Structure formats: C-alpha cells, structure tokens
Amino acid sequence: MAILVTGGSGYVGLNVVEALARAGREVVTFDRILPPPVAAAELSALPGRIHAVDGDLMDAGALDRAFHAAPIEAVIHTAAVTSGPAREASEPQRVFQVNVLGTIGLLEAARRASVRRVVVTSSGAAYGESLYRPGLMQEDATPVLPTTLYATTKYAAERTARRLAELWQMEVACTRLGTLIGPWERDGSSHAQGVRDNFGPHSQLARIAVAGGEAVLPADECTRDWVYSPDVGRALVMLADAPALPHFVYNLSAGIDWSGDIAAWCEVLAARFPGFRHRIARAGETPNVHYTDRARSLMAVQRFEADHGFVATRDRAAIHCAFADWVERVGRAWHAG
C-alpha cells in the first residue's frame, strides 16, 4: 500500500517523500511539475518506490489518476500556494482556489477512492496577529486571527476539512507547521511555476555560500519558530501511520528559542565554504539577505509529543551540521536548478 503526497515536488512534499522513500515505502507524488532532476536522482537512490503523477489540484480527473497509480492507504496533503503580498494582490482567486477548494477536491477524491486517513498541512501563520503577542500558541486556546490571504485560506481549509471529516466519517488531522529550515527549499520567484513566494534566510545564505559570495545581513535578527524540514517529513508520516488521532489539530515545530541562529549558521557555512563571507549591512546599505516576516512567538508542541511521541530536533548544532552536509552534497545543483 502506498502513501499519496500532494505537492510532492514542493518544499514540504519533498521532505515527506524522502522520509517515506528512506523507510522503503511506496509513494505516489502528485504535483503540477515533476520532481526536479537533482531531487529525482537523490530520491531514486533510496530503497522506496516512487510513482510521480503530474496534474493540477483543481483537476478532479488528474487527482483520480493519482489515486489509481497504486493502492493508496493514506494521503499527506502538502500542496498549497504559499503566497506573499504581491501574489495575493495579483492572484487572490488562485490562492483561494488551491488552498481551500483544492483541499475540498482532494478530500472528495480520497472519499471516492475509499481512503479514510488524510493528513492536511496547515500553517502556524493561521494564528495571525496572535503570533506577535507574548505567550505560547496553543492549538485550542490561542485566538486564531489570520490577516493575510494565505493565513486566512489555511485556516479556512482546516475548518472545512474538519467539517467534511465529520460528515463523511473520514480520519483527518491538520498540522500547523512552524517555519521550515533545511533541505529542498527553493526560491519560488525564480521558477516559472513556483507557488512558494517565501525563501527563508537559512536557504538564502546557503545559496550565497555555494556561489562563494558575500552575505549582507540586516542589522536586527528576526527569529521564527523554526523546525528542521526532515523532522517535518518524519512527523507527517507518523500521523499518516498513527493507530489513532486523538486530536484534530497539532502544532508541528521545535518549540525552542532560536536567538542567534542566523549568525551561528553563517559561521558553519564559512567553515564549509571558504569563499563565503558575511557581515552586517552598513548604515544606508541594502542587505542581500532578508527576513520574510516579523519575529514570532513560539508554538506549544506538547500535544504532538504526548499523542504520538514526536519530538523535533532541538540541537541547533546538529541541525546546522546535517543541513550543511546536504548543502555540500546537493546545494550547488539544487540552487542552480
């Protein structure tokens, strides 16, 4: 039996596919584009079996083909438009269609195929303005106050999935992801079919490092509730396999203070890539590394740990080492592609 991963060529999706393939599982990926060659080469070397199906999430026929590519036991739904302000202004209907209507279409296709377990990836962004207030973000206690179109659609998809799960007697869990750092992030703005407008500072720095360039950083560090991307892939597979789903919504992040992490990551890259240099922008100078948002409060992560035994990696040095290993092995080809 296989796991279907929607958005299987994207940032979250590739980490899920890698986790499954590394464990020797059978996977069906569904995306508008097939996995990039460097990713396909890396994944093909793993013991799992991968069937790649291309198609649009809004195409019911294409979804049905994906469900018939192999016997499907569960779905991990990662497909989304991770929109920034420019895309929200120019393509609001597309953002809504993919993030909300696409989730409905995916659940309908799962129902037609008699697949009962679906894991839907949401986002910590759904907390909205609460993220910028003191205190931990609690799944059922913190007010959900989305302001951006992306955050609004992710929360709408959560609530829609919950209602349809009740009506159709399906097993559905939603995960509000922290901000990923690690392998398989691409700058969506540099790809014609990219639907991810954010490109995190850790990946920006990795791209500069493999090119042997100089990183010019903003004077003030902006920290997020970051989580290592392979941990996210592993956790989503755990939810797909879990014997039971005691809760509908789970925060999925590391839940630690990341202060000083950007400077520490720069030092790791400088040791691995001798041509890489980094400094703080001078007065009036425009940095070439940017942060995608303001600093955020942390999300509580105890529920996932209590229900499923999942604990994200909290050793930042270990994360840096593992990510740098990946950048050395894959980064040049990945960021060039």
Q: Return the SS3 of 51.
A: strand
- What is the spatial distance between Cα 130 and Cα 13, in angstroms, rounded to a whole number? 27
Global pTM reads 0.96
- What is the spatial distance between Cα 241 and Cα 334, in angstroms, rounded to a whole number? 30
CB–CB of 197/271 below 8 Å?
no
pLDDT the model gives residue 189: 57
pLDDT digits (tens, 9 = 90+) for 123-138: 999 999 999 999 999 9
CB–CB of 69/51 below 8 Å?
yes
pLDDT band, very low/low/confident/very high, at 195 (cuts 50, 70, 90): low
pLDDT the model gives residue 197: 86
Tell me the average pLDDT across 81-86.
Answer: 94
pLDDT digits (tens, 9 = 90+) for 50-78: 999 999 999 999 999 999 999 999 999 99
- What is the spatial distance between Cα 154 and Cα 41, in angstroms, rounded to a whole number? 32
Tell me the average pLDDT across 284-307.
Answer: 95
pLDDT the model gives residue 159: 98
CB–CB of 295/223 below 8 Å?
yes
Residue 107 one-letter amino acid = L
Res 178 pLDDT > 50: yes
Res 223 pLDDT > 90: no
Residue-range domain boundaries for the chain = 2-179+229-254+296-313
Q: What fold is seen in the domain 2-179+229-254+296-313?
A: Rossmann fold (3.40.50)
